[in-house]
Each structure stands twice: as structure tokens, then as C-alpha cells.
Structure 1
Amino acid sequence: MAQNASMEEFEALLNESFEMDTPDEGSVVKGKVIAIEAGQAIIDIGYKMEGRVELKEFANPGEAPEIAVGDEVEVFLDRVENARGEASISRDKARREEAWDRLEKAYADEARVEGAIFGRVKGGFTVDLGGAVAFLPGSQVDVRPVRDAGPLLG
């Protein structure tokens, strides 16, 4: 009788695991940093899945990454399982998704957006808008052409 009960418990647990919804590929999911090793953060995204993200993806342009074990982060799920049996995830893509959502809302509300200039390119500057990178024409920075971009960077 005890074996019969344990078999029923096993069957119930197995059915429960099959009913568990797995996240959709191409969506942003929450995860928890469980370890940091060899320049990568190992993130548990639930559903018995873990993935690795390069630490540089957690840094803002020109800054060091700010992440620690136990932090909750949002990541973009590229694939549920890669060749190593891990979830293929990206923090950069999640930041871009978040940034685009904010930019679309700002556009709909006709609101201004703020960003940080982090590079100079031909004809202007590159600007970080909280995850999305934009081009700022040099003619929009000042009424006269800017010769020294140093004070504008950052």
C-alpha cells in the first residue's frame, strides 16, 4: 500500500511538472543571480532553467558592472535550451526592450527623453537612452559647432 501511495504521489508530481508553463522564447523574464564566475553571471530564471550572461552586459557605457549574487534581474530569453543545456539569455536585449517601451510611451505622451552622451561619431554623438543607443546630430547640441566634446561626454 505504501508503494502504491508513493507511485500516486510520483504521478501527481510528474503531471504537475508537465502542466508548468515555460516562458516563451523572445520574452523578458525575471531571474536571480545565483553565482558569478569567469566573467559571467549565472542566473536562475525559474522553471528549472539557468543561463549565463557576460558581466559587461550589466554595465552602463563607460562604467563597471554593478551586480551581486542574490540580485533580481530581468533578462531576455532567446532560447529555452542551447547546446550546453542552458537557457540562452541576454541582459542587453532585455534593456533594449525596456528602453523601447519607455521611448514609445514618451513619444505617445509627447514627453522629452534624457540620455547620456558616451561617444563621438561622424556628424554627431552616440547617446545612451537607458538601454537604447541613439544618434544625436552635432547641430542639435549647440547653436555653434562643438569643437571640444570632452565636457559633453558622460
Structure 2
Amino acid sequence: MGDFREGEIVHAKVLRVTDSMVILEFGFKSEGAVPLDEFKDRDGIEPGQEVEVLLESLEDDDGIVVLSKKKADFLRVWEKIREAHEADEPVEGMLARKIKGGVTVDIMGVDAFLPGSQIALRRVPNIDDLLGQTFEFKIIKLNKRRRNIVVSRRVILEGERERKRETLVKELLVGQV
């Protein structure tokens, strides 16, 4: 039996699936349970399957180990987003819905905010036409504590425009000599 700390992601094995819960074993003295609705593929959960879950509490008031698949998934995605931000790499996301001041972008299942001014190089007449489409975005602001991600498509488009301009200038210079 290993040392377990609340707040860490643990590997667990599915023991059984009930109508509402997935019962898991992860090497602790007692089993843990995760609500079935935290699993995206509910029908694909089989006994013996390995899953990653967040150990929320070693024992709640009823002496039950509290685990969360949803929170473990969120932390894994958040880590990928943080790594992309630190490496200054673009992330792919889908324009999900229009909100005040911009659009919500779905990045690997996590919501990010795309300000209206960062959607394109020029003002977009009808944002609804872009909803459901997938684009690359640059993460311009990240705050884990507030679960706040701000992205820009405009920065990506400006970079592409600048690269095209540089290529064109080089071709013109070569052609003139």
C-alpha cells in the first residue's frame, strides 16, 4: 500500500460499474467511487480497465474515499494548456458560443475567452458564421487559480501575414538583382 495524498492524481482499476457509480481500486485500504456521469464514454467502462482519477479526500464524513475523474481530466488538460503557453505554442480550439465581449473557445474540453478584438485582423461582421469552426489560437493570458484562459487568433494571423510579407520582399529583392 503506497502513500496517498489528497489532491494528487492516482491510477485506479475499475472493479465494477453500477447504474450510477464506478467502483475503483487504487491500492488504498478501501475502494473509491466516482459518479458514472463523470465518464465521457459511459458504455465503454469495463472491469479491469485502468483510469486516472483525482484523490479528493481519503475519507469523507461517511468514511468513503472521494475520487473524481472529471477533475483529473481537467488537471491533465490544464497542464497541456500551461505547457503550450510556456512554450509559446499555439493550441487548437473550437469557437463554441458568443458571449458578451467575445466568444467562448473550447480547448480540449476547457473553456477559454476570445475577446472580440482578437478574432480576426479586421472586425468580423457576423461571429455566428464562425461558431463551430476550429482554429489555432495563441494563449495570451493564463490564471489557474481563477481558471481563466484568454486566447487570440489575431496574433496567429498577424504572424502569418508578417511571414508572407517577408517572403514576398525576399522574392522581389532576388528578382531585381
Runs of 4+, deviation exceeding 4 Å: none
Computed over aligned residues only, the root mean square deviation of the Cα atoms, in angstroms, reads 2.5
Aligned partner letter, 1:22: D
Query: CA separation of 1:66/1:119 partners in 2, compared to 1, >3 Å: closer, same or farther?
Result: farther
Conserved? CA contact 1:80–1:88, under 8 Å: yes
The equivalences for 1:88-103 within 5 A come to: 88-103=66-81
Conserved? CA contact 1:119–1:153, under 8 Å: no
Aligned to 1:85, what secondary structure does the other structure show?
coil
Deviates more, 1:141-150 or 1:77-86: 141-150
Give aligned-pair identity as a percent: 36
Number of residue pairs aligned between Structure 1 and Structure 2: 131
Q: Where does residue 127 of structure 1 map in the other structure?
A: 105
Q: CA deviation at 1:22?
A: 2.6
Counterparts of 1:119 and 1:52, CA distance in 2:
34
The equivalences for 1:1-154 within 5 A come to: 20-59=1-40, 65=42, 67-69=44-46, 70-142=48-120, 143=122, 144-148=124-128, 151-152=131-132
The gaps in structure 2 that reach 5 residues or longer are 135-177
Conserved? CA contact 1:139–1:145, under 8 Å: no
TM-score (norm 2): 0.61
Aligned to 1:115, what secondary structure does the other structure show?
strand
Query: CA separation of 1:117/1:75 partners in 2, compared to 1, >3 Å: closer, same or farther?
Result: farther
Conserved? CA contact 2:54–2:71, under 8 Å: yes
Q: CA deviation at 1:35?
A: 1.7
Conserved? CA contact 2:20–2:35, under 8 Å: yes
Aligned to 2:81, what secondary structure does the other structure show?
helix
